[in-house]
Chain A
């Protein structure tokens, strides 16, 4: 990938997914270098459970452990964060996370739209929003907000997704910048890194 379209150094990569996205994350996250110049924020729909096992599962092969967010945790570059089950995840301009357990959005909590929209408000053109496999329409409005704020938006190629509906919605309804399969996605995220 010669050109990632970002006009300013990337500060945050926000990745949203639902059914079928965990297998993509299990390939993508371990392929990222151990030193990253940006923050990675991951939001995945899942059943509410007391155990935070998804963060552990995703951290198995990554260089940096993935941290499940607690309220007002600092948002640091080079770190990877996961939205906890049953809370919406928002980002404050002071560089901390806020959790919110108000009404579900698109039948989901965490909702991808909520995090994409909040990140767009904070990072503007310095962010990338990536939408992975899923069977619901969450994420499309959020990617629109990212695009409107000047960020870059990416969808997983629907035919490579276990559930193509969610990325397909975004492709149909937003001016998507890139439609990528998993290997292209890995290459794309690596191209955003300016740390060495």
Chain B
């Protein structure tokens, strides 16, 4: 059994009317797939029962929000992107008295810890602040703890080296019971907070905004709205970094930005 388009509309309407979560401008094909995935995994006998549970059980809502939002991420994901950050972006920030960075849609925080490591190695972490936001409170709680599965560390270590890292990657964490905990020094400069890109506003001015593999889940209108929100939040000569298959090409802010060589990093030029 499949949930059809009209039923997806009903679910989206309930989420908004009852709980204030607005998913209506999410890219419909992947949203429909995720709703169907939840419906199948949770073994509902009918759509009506799924809908009733969602409307009447606030705990189940949490599970639905988690299920609809994608939290797949990794440290130093796309190592060449991090290499460009390391060699071309971070050095241009070094003269600033303060460095403000926003990870929008940070999920479980792997990229925030990666950024903190880059800044530490450039001797800039002490004067940086990393704002990390997501609409999913459960994911943020994981990010705040800085505890990740040991099984991922081989990949992360390889990514780190490919991104130009010269230290022993394992010196950044302590391992215990199949988990690793990243050192508290890295997290000291992180501020975690819920923020919904659909409904919340700009809250500061940043030198660098990273939002990678979040816009792919939005339709073109919401992408453009979000990019304008980023534009309002990026200071003069600041940077915007997107995921490897995302682009500014469809957006009204494009003329104000210049892309850095091949990576998905743009600098605000006007």
A99 in complex: contacting residue of B78, B223, B245, CB < 8 Å? B245
B29 in complex: contacting residue of A84, A87, A92, A103, CB < 8 Å? A92
B145-153, B165-173, B189-197, B212-220: which lies at the A interface? B212-220
The size of the chain B interface, using a CB distance under 8 A, is: 25
Q: Does B245 lie within 8 Å of A90, measured CB to CB? A: no
A63 at the binding interface (Cβ < 8 Å): no
| B residues near A88, Cβ cutoff 8 Å | 30
| B residues near A117, Cβ cutoff 8 Å | 33
Q: Does A70 lie within 8 Å of B247, measured CB to CB? A: yes
Q: Does B216 lie within 8 Å of A71, measured CB to CB? A: yes
A108 at the binding interface (Cβ < 8 Å): no
Give the nearest-CB partner of B73 in chain A.
A101
Q: Does A96 lie within 8 Å of B30, measured CB to CB? A: no
Q: Does B220 lie within 8 Å of A72, measured CB to CB? A: yes
| B residues near A121, Cβ cutoff 8 Å | 29, 32
B89 at the binding interface (Cβ < 8 Å): no
Q: Does B245 lie within 8 Å of A69, measured CB to CB? A: yes
Q: Which interface residue of B27, B70, B72, B213 has the most chain A CB atoms within 10 A?
A: B27
A100 in complex: contacting residue of B30, B220, B247, CB < 8 Å? B30
For B19-51 the 0/1 string (1 means CB < 8 A from A) is 000000001111011100000000000000000
Q: Does B245 lie within 8 Å of A70, measured CB to CB? A: yes
| B residues near A71, Cβ cutoff 8 Å | 215-216, 243, 245-247
Q: Does B213 lie within 8 Å of A101, measured CB to CB? A: yes
Chosen A-B contacts, 25 in total, with CB atoms closer than 8 Å, are: A50-B79, A70-B246, A71-B215, A71-B216, A71-B245, A71-B246, A72-B250, A84-B244, A87-B216, A87-B245, A88-B30, A90-B27, A90-B29, A93-B28, A96-B220, A98-B216, A98-B217, A99-B245, A100-B216, A100-B217, A102-B30, A102-B70, A102-B72, A117-B33, A121-B32
- Give 8 new A-B contacts, CB below 8 A, not counting A50-B79, A88-B30, A118-B29: A70-B245, A70-B246, A84-B244, A87-B245, A90-B27, A98-B30, A98-B217, A114-B33
What residues of chain A have their CB less than 8 Å away from a CB belonging to chain B?
50, 69-72, 84, 87-88, 90-94, 96, 98-103, 114, 117-118, 121-122
